[in-house]
């Protein structure tokens, strides 16, 4: 089941179901995704019935245009992003010049980001200055139902309702200062962007197992290949990440948990963010050769199965623009 949200000018948009071929959509029986998540036991059967009718040609349809999409979940009760690929975390320690994080191999690292203004898959990304070190970060995430305080990883994994693909935009020059304060990120993390579809785990078949996605995230920067790292080597699975977040608090339905930047040890896979490429250049070549993004630059991200077929999330394709100039 593929769910998307049309940008209708409201805070939560209008929920729709999208056909497997991505050409047609139909209005969902629940008006918003957050409403469906908060009443999932009743909402899911009705949504699945509607999705089946759409595939069978028995539902009223509208042409689907991803340009009209907001983020699948335009705002969330909580957005928590981890660093579940240890290779990326170790490279970032080098980038920021920080000492090794205690228990990094055994306790997930996670920060709380802004959840009130997520960006759609084709929305421009307005930012204040190129000097801030504009960077993309390709990730995957899960949207959960209610998770009780102290849930085990197994219980937490059972709370996964939907999977998403995202770009956790970062401003690296600001991040270097903020990480040293010990208070975590704020200005360094502008609004996160999402591919058009939130999908139920069954959409991935065997590519979703043990709380991990067996997909490659294909990334292009200004039309040129940047990388296609695999999400399979995720060191902490999503059940562990959710349980970590719920250790001292309950999680409300609609909470989003991110994987952190997809990262592989193998250099041939490329990277999912510029900062990682810069550190690899410094290590392998003795100098940093890549700059960060400029106004007008584009980044395109698409998850694909290991056989190269497109994944279920659709395409994230965005342009960075100067927030100080009229669109």
CATH number (domain holding residue 98):
3.90.850.10
- Residue 210 shares a structural domain with residue 246: yes
Q: Which residues contact 60 (CB under 8 A, 6 or more apart)?
A: 26, 27
Domain that holds residue 46: 1-70
Q: Decide if pLDDT at 99 tops 90.
A: no
For the residues of 14-81, what is the DSSP string, one character each?
EEEEE-TTSSEEEE-SSS-HHHHHHTHHHHHHHHHHHHHHHHTT-S--EE--GGGB--SSSS-S-EEE
Quick one: pLDDT at residue 327?
58
Q: What does residue 62 show for φ and ψ, rounded to 5 degrees?
A: -135, 150
Q: Residue 230: count other Cβ atoms within 10 Å of its Cβ.
A: 18
Q: Decide if pLDDT at 122 tops 90.
A: yes
Q: How confident is the model at residue 95 (pLDDT cuts 50, 70, 90)?
A: low
- Residue 86 shares a structural domain with residue 232: yes
Closest CA to 139 of 220, 239, 215: 215
Percent of the chain with pLDDT over 90: 85
- Residue 15 shares a structural domain with residue 122: no
Residue 327 lies in a domain: no
Please give the tally of structural domains in the chain.
2
- Residue 81 shares a structural domain with residue 172: yes
Residue 164 lies in a domain: yes
- Residue 57 shares a structural domain with residue 100: no
Residues 63-68, mean pLDDT to the nearest whole number: 93
Q: How confident is the model at residue 60 (pLDDT cuts 50, 70, 90)?
A: very high
Q: Examine the fold and report which residue of 30, 55, 70 is the final residue of a domain before the chain moves on.
A: 70
């Amino acid at each position: 089941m593929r769910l998307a949200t049309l940008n209708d000018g409201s805070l939560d948009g209008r929920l729709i179901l999208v056909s497997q071929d991505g050409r047609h959509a139909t209005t969902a029986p629940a008006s918003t995704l957050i409403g469906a998540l908060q009443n999932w036991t009743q909402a899911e059967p009705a949504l699945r019935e509607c999705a089946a009718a759409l595939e069978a040609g028995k539902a009223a349809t509208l042409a689907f245009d991803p340009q009209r999409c907001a983020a699948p979940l335009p705002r969330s009760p909580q957005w928590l992003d981890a660093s579940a690929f240890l290779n990326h975390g170790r490279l970032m320690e080098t980038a920021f010049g920080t000492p090794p994080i205690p228990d990094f191999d055994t306790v997930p690292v996670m920060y709380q980001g802004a959840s009130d203004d997520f960006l759609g898959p084709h929305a421009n990304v307005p930012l204040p200055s190129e000097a801030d070190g504009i960077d993309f970060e390709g990730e995957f995430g899960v949207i959960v139902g209610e998770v009780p305080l102290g849930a085990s990883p197994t219980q937490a994994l059972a709370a996964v309702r939907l999977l998403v693909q995202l770009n956790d935009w970062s401003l690296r020059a600001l991040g270097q200062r903020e990480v040293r304060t010990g208070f975590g990120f704020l200005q360094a993390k502008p609004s996160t962007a999402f591919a058009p579809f939130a999908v139920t785990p069954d959409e991935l078949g065997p590519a979703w197992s043990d709380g991990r996605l067996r997909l490659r995230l294909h990334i292009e920067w200004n039309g040129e290949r940047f990388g296609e790292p695999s999400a399979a080597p995720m060191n902490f699975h999503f059940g562990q990440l959710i349980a970590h977040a719920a250790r001292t608090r309950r999680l409300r339905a609609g909470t989003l948990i991110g994987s952190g930047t997809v990262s592989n040890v193998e250099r041939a896979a490329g990277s999912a963010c510029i900062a990682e490429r810069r550190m690899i250049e410094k290590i392998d070549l003795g100098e940093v050769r890549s700059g960060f993004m400029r106004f007008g630059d584009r980044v395109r991200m698409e998850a694909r199965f290991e056989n190269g077929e497109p994944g279920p999330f659709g395409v994230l394709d965005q342009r960075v623009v100067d927030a100080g100039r009229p669109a």
